[in-house]
A and B are shown apart, each in its own frame.
Chain A
Amino acid sequence: MATDEREGGSDRIETVEADDVDAADILGSAIERQEDPSLLTGEAEYTDDIQLPEMTHMAMLRSQYAHARLADIDTSEAEEMEGVVAVFTAEDLDVSGALPVGWDLDSLRNVDNPIMVEDRIRYQGDVLALVVAEERYQAHDALDAVDVEYERLEAVTDPSDALAEDAPVIHEEEGTNEAFDWDIGDADDTEAALEAADNVVELDVTNQLLIPNAIEPRAVVADYDPSDDLLDVQMTTQNPHVHRLLMAGVIDHPEHRMRVRAPDVGGGFGSKIHHYADEALVSWAAKQVERPVKWQATRTESYLTDAQGRGHETHGEIAVDDDGTIRGLYVDTKANLGAYLSTFSPSIPTYLYGTLLSGQYEIDNIYCEVTGAYTNVVPVDAYRGAGRPEASFIIERLVNRAADAVDMDPAEIRKKNFLDPDDFPYETPVAMEYDSGDYHKTLERAMEAVGYDEFRERQEQAREEGRYLGIGFSCYIEACGIAPSELVGELGAGAGLWESGLVRFTPSGTVRAMSGSSGHGQGHDTTFSQILANELGVDYDDIEVVEGDTDAIPQGMGTYGSRSAAVGGSALVESARKVVEKARKIAAHQLEADPEDVEFEAGEFQVAGAPDRSTSIQDVSLEAYLAHDIPDDMEPGLEATTFYDPSNFVFPFGTHVAVVEVDPDTGEVAFEDYVAVDDVGNQINPKIVEGQIHGGIAQGVGQALFEGAEYDDNGQLVTGSMQDYAVPKSFHVPEMETESTVTPSPENPLGVKGVGEAGTIAAPQAIVNAVVDALEPLGVDHIEMPLTNERVWRAAGGGDD
């Protein structure tokens, strides 16, 4: 039952209005977001709100079966129906029509990914036909009239089943469902370390498939002008330029005559990064019917098509000596890729996963092997955390098990193996070079906040009373702001991972800034304005941030992987600094001083030692555009563009602690406390940081206790809507105490580390560790996620089956 009043938790960060903050303090202030009024009052314009003259509506026929041959398809009846403008099948496609994959691996079996089915259906989201009609309802009614003859085939949904000898083969031309075979680390050294250690503890875990559930399902409005061959696409995207590049190739449309825009976008969590078949089909259809075409996915359609997350079956082994020293780690994962490769899917269970297995610890020997498997489920790709939650989960569970094996307190074993602040920069056995960190500090802060010692006493007492309390730690590290381009290129990326930022003064001294990032709820307008107000000494209100339009912005890479502050923000900082430098020269010229003697502070250029000889950056801007009196060798104008390519990832870290009470009779898990101490480097806007942590934890709670995409033996998605897939509600999420430490990143001018995914990466294992800790007296040492009441009840000894 919903409750309106909550108890506990930390004091929420108070917001302030931008007007009330001095320019000098704006960076780091919890100012209210400028995006919110329009979002909260219904003024925001989402893709489905867009109305164009002569607009038609599109609906797509998806498959009833997960694996089948398309024996015949008859659209004649649909074509005759009222309002139907056109019906198309694969036969009508006159373009390349195959989705590319954006990341290659040496062993990758790259398979065809056609945008419409010709003869083989591989998952329920595959498109069999599309209908364009005057009205939305007419389009959907017409779908029912399409007659399809299927020859159903046996399906397979689990990676280990798919890799077995007798499994049905999804891509016949490959002869196997093995998509790739990848490893990292040193196999021999690790094997030796495991053998030499006093103890080896093993654990098998499933990191279950998750459905992203952004609040706005995907949508596209495409408008084609045949007179100048211009294609204008507005869509739910986290990266308009990436979509433009990929889509142009898929439908054979010249990239320079294509515009992609992101209207307000209702969340993404990774699901709107990838280029999907349906998106390409909307644009292609617009070119066929020469009228605007709109498609809005329904929620259930989203469930059948949005790239799902996680999907790992993992066997882990940790070698630990009797004194608690971790000697080595071996991880073998079978990763579910789904029916086809999605845009970044080969990278998620490999480079975004294996490379994080060192966690916060000094572990000399690590070896990880990952086998990717094709199955008949929805293609799997990045979902908040993308590989790092899976890594963090397996290490933190193994470390807990190791603690049990050597009878050591779980906090103690962590402290014993942590890297120390002076170990940085630290190169791990799995190729990462950590930039900076203080892991002891966050763990100790968390333990203090949660009252650790006192908790253990209470736990004892509760056990005597027949009540089961538990505490779980999650000491996580993650890598975000994925970069640099050269490195990721070597690893197989089909794209560079820099970001663009253009800072442009207007003659009257206001600022327009374009970023290649693409916010979809994160508050970029606010944070980027804060950054620029600080760099340029310009009023926060005099800055307008523009994102999400390929016509207006230099090429950009988009928003995902917690990169927008670290990479996008840094690009803007660099451009701002270039602008200031140019302005300084103009000021110097006009103040008749040497640029080296001109100081810049709070928006004013001042000759050192002569405060009355000054000019504002706004005045300089006007001068720059008048060009009446600027240095001889200088061009008019005042703007700069930077394509910022960072030199390394950035590494946020922290400790989350969950305290729970478990009722073994009903399997119910209640939160007593949840503490998060996160270090995300410098914080541009603490309120936004707090919000990101909260949201991430909520999704982590979802994975730990409630969510999981389930398929039956025939590949039929049975958690097909929110009636059956349990997205956590507000009362499912615990009160959270959030704190932070600040260890600035040396990798970028802002010193930021990225915060978007931290909560999702940290939370699941904190909760699982806590529940297992609670039920330890009943002999429980592991429970698989989601920890539904029934699973917990059975683990605690309930039932016979």
Chain B
Amino acid sequence: MYPDQFEFHRADSVSEAVELLADNPDAELIAGGHSLLPTMKSGLASPDALVDISDLDGLSGVERNGEVTHLGAMTTYATVADDDDLWEDATVVAEAASQVGDRQVRNRGTVGGNIAHADPASDLPAAMLAANATVHVHGPDGERSVEIDDFFQGMYATAAGEEGVVTGIDVPEEGENTASAYVKKPAPASGYALVGVAARLTFDGDEVTDARIAANGVMDHGTRLPAAEDAIEGESVDADAVAVAGDAAGDSLDEYMVMEDQQASQEFRLQLLSAYTERALETVGERAGHM
């Protein structure tokens, strides 16, 4: 379809991008464009200007820095999904990246764009929450790091705000006693997550000592599931414990705000959340060799 007229600026640096955003409140950043362009072509979004940051140096690539993998914001999903080391170090993130959209989308869309856009049904937010990532943002006041738990604030709203540029994501290494997984129930039409559950569990022997479990597609932003985490912590990943955690998954969510649309009612979404939380935990259990 036909977007409205817009100006196009190619930023030479992150600071220039930040400035351009500050100067024009109606401007939008474009990287891979695979979240923004569909909204523009469908006529829903009409930014006055696009600020292209896809070519900026140093913002792309997967790099190991000690116990942390740094993902440049402009790294494509495909690159992240193809990184064997990342599958070892932070399975949940690589797995989520591998399930975004389809091959064409994965070759163009970027991980930074995904979390900055923060679509309620995209795949990376829950994975990043489970992985306990840190997000680097460059805003009008300079650079800062944001803990992932503080990053997703609402529908399409993040701590980066209107004028910040996400420049990179640090994903901590899982370590030997930790395993993770991302399981997704795609909506048949859009391929977005009707429900997507990310889980990262740390074990001491059989027992789960730390659980980070998060979901996409259920609320208007990627969300931790504290009730499921509490249910599985201190337990071993056996069929009973997994069932209890699955049942508890929706407990800490404000039921009024659970997403409801043609694809799934609130009630069914919560049912899927339980089922997929179980699947995520089972998968982690198998990977940890405990099931």
Contacts and interface: CB of A to CB of B under 8 A. Distances in A.
Asked if A and B form a direct contact in the complex, defined as CB atoms under 8 angstroms apart, the reply is yes
A40 interface: no
A544 interface: no
Nearest to B272: A666
Interface string B185-223: 111111100000000000000000000000000000000
A710 B275 contact: no
Q: Label chain B's interface by main secondary structure.
A: loop
Nearest to B186: A1
Contacts of A718: 262
Interface in B212-256: none
Given A2-B102, A298-B1, A300-B1, A665 B271 contact: yes
A136 interface: yes
B190 A790 contact: no
Contacts of A203: none
Contacts of B184: 1
A726 B188 contact: yes
A140 interface: yes
B267 A726 contact: no
Contacts of B267: 799-801
A666 B189 contact: no
A705 B189 CA distance: 11
A1 B1 contact: no
B271 A793 contact: yes
A527 B187 CA distance: 39
Interface in A683-735: 705-706, 710, 718-719, 721-729, 732
Interface of B: 1-2, 4-5, 38, 42, 98-99, 102-103, 184-191, 262-265, 267-268, 271-272, 275
A732 B186 CA distance: 12
Nearest to B185: A666
Contact of B2 (A140, A719, A799): A140
B1 A798 contact: no
B1 to A, nearest CB: 5
A673 interface: no
A397 B84 CA distance: 50
A1 B4 contact: no
A141 interface: yes
21 contacts: A1-B98, A140-B2, A141-B2, A300-B1, A666-B185, A666-B272, A666-B275, A706-B188, A719-B262, A722-B189, A722-B190, A723-B38, A724-B263, A726-B187, A726-B188, A729-B191, A789-B272, A790-B268, A793-B268, A793-B271, A799-B265
Nearest to A59: B2
Nearest to B2: A140
Given A666-B271, A789-B272, A799-B271, 12 more contacts: A1-B98, A141-B2, A141-B4, A300-B1, A665-B271, A710-B262, A719-B189, A724-B189, A724-B190, A788-B188, A790-B264, A800-B267
A672 B272 CA distance: 22
A200 B186 CA distance: 42
Contacts, number: 71
B42 A300 contact: yes
Given A722-B189, A732-B188, A141 B5 contact: yes
Contacts of B4: 141, 144
Given A300-B1, A718-B262, A800-B267, A665 B188 contact: no
B42 A721 contact: yes
A424 interface: no
B62 to A, nearest CB: 21
Contacts of B186: 1
Nearest to A137: B2
Contact of B99 (A1, A137, A728): A1
Contacts of A300: 1, 42
Interface in A135-176: 136-137, 140-141, 144
A33 B171 CA distance: 51
Interface in A17-66: none
Contacts of B1: 298-300
A798 B188 contact: no
A299 B185 CA distance: 26
B262 A724 contact: yes
Nearest to A1: B99
Q: Label chain A's interface by main secondary structure.
A: loop
Given A2-B103, A300-B1, A719-B262, A726 B189 contact: yes
Contacts of B188: 705-706, 726, 728-729, 732, 788
A120 B277 CA distance: 52
B98 to A, nearest CB: 8
Contacts of A299: 1
A790 B189 contact: no
B191 to A, nearest CB: 8
B262 A798 contact: no
B47 to A, nearest CB: 16
Contacts of A722: 189-190
Contact of B190 (A1, A723, A799): A723
Contacts of A1: 98-99, 184, 186
Pick the 8 closest A-B CB pairs, nearest first: A726-B189, A726-B188, A140-B2, A790-B268, A723-B190, A298-B1, A799-B267, A666-B275
Nearest to A710: B262
Contacts of B268: 667, 789-790, 793-794, 798-799
Nearest to A798: B271
A718 B191 CA distance: 17
Contacts of A719: 189, 262
Contacts of B264: 789-790
Contacts of B98: 1
Given A137-B2, A710-B262, A793-B268, A665 B275 contact: yes
Nearest to A144: B4
B215 to A, nearest CB: 15
A431 B185 CA distance: 48
Contacts of B185: 666
B255 to A, nearest CB: 13
B189 A725 contact: yes
Contacts of B263: 724
A666 B4 CA distance: 41
B246 to A, nearest CB: 10
A725 B188 CA distance: 9
A300 B191 CA distance: 18
A718 B262 CA distance: 9
A726 B103 CA distance: 18
A141 B4 CA distance: 7
A726 B262 CA distance: 11
Nearest to B261: A724
Quick one: which of A137, A144, A724, A789 has the most chain B CB within 10 A?
A789
Contacts of A666: 185, 271-272, 275
Interface in A771-801: 788-790, 793-794, 798-801
B291 to A, nearest CB: 19
A790 B265 CA distance: 8
